[in-house]
Structure 1
């Protein structure tokens, strides 16, 4: 297989089949390509990853595989750090290009990407990263960012088309440990179901009826469960793109009678990207307070109080009710 030239599409926070530029470029390139997702132990073990994230990702991939199955395609899942996976891939295949979206993540993912970039350059493999959701990497300030974001949001949606693959699935040694895969398959019914098709189901129900009171109910714990979009996990893991949501809501016929509600929702899509861009430009936010004055405040870490807050046992009814709801249903 070493003499077989292939391209690689590396999925990160973009687990969908449509409006997907890396997959589109791979189809255009004219040589076979493999789609991969990496569950990286060094990143999974970091404190910002939850088992719920992993359940959602795993099940999103299963949904995507169902969509890709008619084309004899699938996502090859690896349980290994990226450098080990790419070492394996270049030993097994003649890798020409890697296509992926840029990832605005924590320092450990940035360090990982720099390592992979150097590795691929050393092996004369081109890594083409595409802009995700209007986020711009490497800019020094956000001057004109709003204008550029709106230009991106109004750009045409990529209509992905797939050829039928004649390639076999990658057989590799980096399998998910059985105990983990079993846990990820156990998906509680009270969680929002993962995957691209479910993202669209929630979006369509929002514009059809649920979102009519969005701006009035967004801050109310009970009403917001129905009136909010419920799209957070799908946007976080790219089951649907910001651009797809922006254009679907912005052009929907119900917008004329729900102008304030839909406008408020689109504003929050903008905020979503705004704060990711802010983090991209000022990544010190990962370890330092945004308001640096808080760094000077003395505070005692009371584990008993923290546990009471997390478990909804503070004795403050509204706080406790909200935290118990989060514990039962939160995915993002």
Structure 2
């Protein structure tokens, strides 16, 4: 007779410490088999040298090393669809309960519903937990139970709830001895899943008291590069959001903390309004007559628009998988409003390139610059890509790094005149939304 076990399914929570679902699994009364699935449904859409896949694989190996060295156990790593893998696991093990942490994106919700159904037909429980956010789903809503659509009141209630209740930590690292021992489990290489190591790596994050305290004063200047690089680590859960929020809340300046609240605001928007993954939150904005000029879109993607700050941002993105947040707003606005190219095309390009790509934040911010989302910039707010240099890169240090030829004859001619593009945008938007 097979030994009864529980399974913990790692997803967006690639750490052994302060992991809510893992903690709940480990403190139950059965040995825990930790697993990770490289989901072919997702991998099939990615380039074979995707830096995020390399990062996930490296993070798993780091966890493996700890489990093998200190606990004589490991993580079973699989490649396939979740349905295929769980069908196989059900045959191989006597599983009582599958534990995991909740994910809120449309695909994840559909996937988990299917897995729960599969497990139920085999008399296996499926227990999910809140881990990647402080507040989820309906925990921060208006008094009438409807979701907030504006950030400021959402953040105010979020802060009040956080101050009132704080956060509970889950010391999963103290229970790692409760994992399954002494069995050979699959541990796949990148080559095994059809990928190769990325040339560009996900950067380590830097969250120090000094950075948090000075965040408001320095965050708008891309040449200073005083951002935390925390995004990918929150996205894949290599760091606990509870730990980061607590660190940020210790400082008198709460600008950094508010950025973490923005992340949760966009997450709850996508959860309450899943149609925004494809459609504008404000339906009338889907009436905009986008030009979608392929040549101009290509120039934007390659950083060849003739506008130095826009081009610097796109070249930084293409070279590093990162773009400074201030510059993200500018390049997004430029695409939608100067070039009249659909925000969805920009969102898809960022999804392909950004190491910190998170569907809810990416969609939320793209709809913000396009004017079509919740709490969005009004359509008549159009960033001037030249005066933005004076405000945020006055010494041209950022531009010089990424567009060294910007003062040379070889540099691209501006693909659109700012004044003419602005007037065209106002006309086209007004016709659509009036």
TM-score (norm 1): 0.83
Q: 2:167 aligns with which of 136, 155, 168?
A: 155
Which deviates further from its counterpart, 142-151 or 240-249? 142-151
- 8 Å Cα contact 1:192/1:329 also seen in 2: no
d(CA) in 2 for partners of 1:117, 1:17: 24
d(CA) in 2 for partners of 1:119, 1:305: 47
State the Cα distance separating 1:134 from its structure 2 match.
Answer: 2.8
State the Cα distance separating 1:294 from its structure 2 match.
Answer: 1.4
Equivalent position of 1:222 in the other structure: 223
d(CA) in 2 for partners of 1:37, 1:244: 23
Equivalent position of 2:286 in the other structure: 295
d(CA) in 2 for partners of 1:313, 1:326: 13
d(CA) in 2 for partners of 1:148, 1:84: 44
Which deviates further from its counterpart, 275-284 or 210-219? 210-219
Q: Does residue 167 of structure 1 match 2:181?
A: yes
Q: Does residue 277 of structure 1 match 2:268?
A: yes
d(CA) in 1 for partners of 2:195, 2:46: 22
Equivalent position of 1:235 in the other structure: 234
d(CA) in 2 for partners of 1:171, 1:74: 7
Count the aligned residue pairs: 307
Q: Kindly report the root-mean-square deviation, in angstroms, between the aligned alpha carbons of the 2 structures.
A: 2.7
d(CA) in 2 for partners of 1:233, 1:245: 13
d(CA) in 2 for partners of 1:289, 1:112: 24
Equivalent position of 1:77 in the other structure: 77
Q: Does residue 250 of structure 1 match 2:245?
A: no
Equivalent position of 2:203 in the other structure: 192
**Residues 286 and 293 of structure 1: is their aligned pair in 2 closer, same or farther, counting only changes over 3 Å?**
same
Please give the secondary structure, in 1, of the residue aligned with 2:96: strand
d(CA) in 2 for partners of 1:233, 1:275: 16
Correspondence list, 1:52-71, <5 A: 52-69=51-68, 70-71=70-71
Q: Does residue 329 of structure 1 match 2:320?
A: yes
d(CA) in 2 for partners of 1:301, 1:274: 30
- 8 Å Cα contact 1:153/1:243 also seen in 2: no
Gaps of 5+ in 1: 194-198
d(CA) in 2 for partners of 1:46, 1:73: 32
- 8 Å Cα contact 1:153/1:247 also seen in 2: no
Computing the radius of gyration over CA atoms, which structure comes out larger, 1 or 2? 2
State the Cα distance separating 1:311 from its structure 2 match.
Answer: 1.6
d(CA) in 1 for partners of 2:76, 2:261: 33
State the Cα distance separating 1:328 from its structure 2 match.
Answer: 2.0
State the Cα distance separating 1:313 from its structure 2 match.
Answer: 1.4
d(CA) in 2 for partners of 1:38, 1:23: 16
d(CA) in 1 for partners of 2:48, 2:113: 21
Which whole-Å deviations, capped at 9, do the CAs of 1:117-168 have from their partners, x for residues lacking one? 1111111111110013134346763378636852697123222212165623
Equivalent position of 1:196 in the other structure: none
TM-score (norm 2): 0.65
Please give the secondary structure, in 1, of the residue aligned with 2:296: helix
d(CA) in 1 for partners of 2:58, 2:96: 30
d(CA) in 1 for partners of 2:111, 2:258: 33
Please give the secondary structure, in 1, of the residue aligned with 2:311: helix
Q: Does residue 178 of structure 1 match 2:177?
A: no
- 8 Å Cα contact 2:18/2:170 also seen in 1: yes
**Residues 239 and 149 of structure 1: is their aligned pair in 2 closer, same or farther, counting only changes over 3 Å?**
farther
Please give the secondary structure, in 2, of the residue aligned with 1:183: coil
**Residues 49 and 121 of structure 1: is their aligned pair in 2 closer, same or farther, counting only changes over 3 Å?**
farther
Equivalent position of 1:264 in the other structure: 255
Which deviates further from its counterpart, 304-313 or 74-83? 304-313
Which whole-Å deviations, capped at 9, do the CAs of 1:190-232 have from their partners, x for residues lacking one? x404xxxxx5xx22xx32x334431122222212x2x222211
Which deviates further from its counterpart, 241-250 or 90-99? 241-250
Which whole-Å deviations, capped at 9, do the CAs of 1:218-247 have from their partners, x for residues lacking one? 222212x2x222211101111112211011
State the Cα distance separating 1:292 from its structure 2 match.
Answer: 2.0
Which whole-Å deviations, capped at 9, do the CAs of 1:83-102 have from their partners, x for residues lacking one? 00100101000000111111
Please give the secondary structure, in 1, of the residue aligned with 2:27: helix
- Structure with more relative contact order (C-alpha pairs < 8 Å, separation 6 or more): 1
d(CA) in 2 for partners of 1:152, 1:48: 45
d(CA) in 1 for partners of 2:161, 2:266: 13
